[in-house]
Amino acid sequence: MLFNFVGVIAKNATFEPVLLLLLLLLLLLLLKQILLLLLLLLLLLLLLLLLLQKQLLLLLLLLLLLLLLLLTITKAHMVLLVRSAHRLRRRVYTNKGPYFTIHIDGYVTLTTFGIVKHGAVDGFSRCMLWLEACYSNNDHRIIAGIFVNFVKRIGRVPRLVRDDAGTENV
C-alpha cells in the first residue's frame, strides 16, 4: 500500500524535498521499529520549519503523519528504548591469530584446601592453554614457571599477555 502511494507521488514529480524526506522516513519506519522516536523528533523539527515557512498543505500532511506515529508507539517500544539506553556498550575485540594474545588468571576458590587454580586462554580461538593447580598463585615464580613451560611447549612467545588487575600475576 505504501509503495503504491510512493509510486503515485513519483509519477507527479512536482513535490518538494521535504516530501521526499517524509517518504524516506516512512520507509525507515517500515524497516526498523526502533527508529520511531528518532523519526518523531525529525518530524517535530520539520513541523517547526514548515510553520516558519507557512506551507499549510505540507504542514497538514506532517501533522497527520505525526499523529499516526504517536498512535503506533506502544509501552513496549518505550521500555525497549529505555533498556537499550542503559545497556553496556561492548568493545570490539580483535586478535591477529593463534597465540598472539593470551589471557591469564588465577582462581582462588579452593584456598581453604590449599589449592589455587591458574589458567590461560588463547584470545583468538578461546581454547584453554593451561589449567594448573598450585599451592599459591601469589608467588610469581610459580606463575612464571607455568608460563615458561607453556612457551617451551608451543615453541614461540605470545606478543601480548593480558591479565586482570589483581596481584597474583605480578
pLDDT of residue 10: 47
pTM: 0.48
> Which residue carries 593463534 as its cell?
98
Q: Are 29 and 35 in contact (CB under 8 A)?
A: yes
Q: Are 170 and 140 in contact (CB under 8 A)?
A: yes
Q: Where exactly are the structural domains of the chain?
A: 2-85, 101-163
Letter for the amino acid at 34?
Answer: I
More confident residue, 162 or 4: 162
Could you give the maximum distance between any two Cα atoms of the chain, in Å? 83
Q: Which are the contacts of 38, defined by CB distance < 8 A and separation ≥ 6?
A: none
In this predicted model, what pLDDT tens digit does every residue of 15-40 receive, in sequence order?
A: 555 565 566 556 555 555 555 556 66
Helix (H) or strand (E) holding 138: none
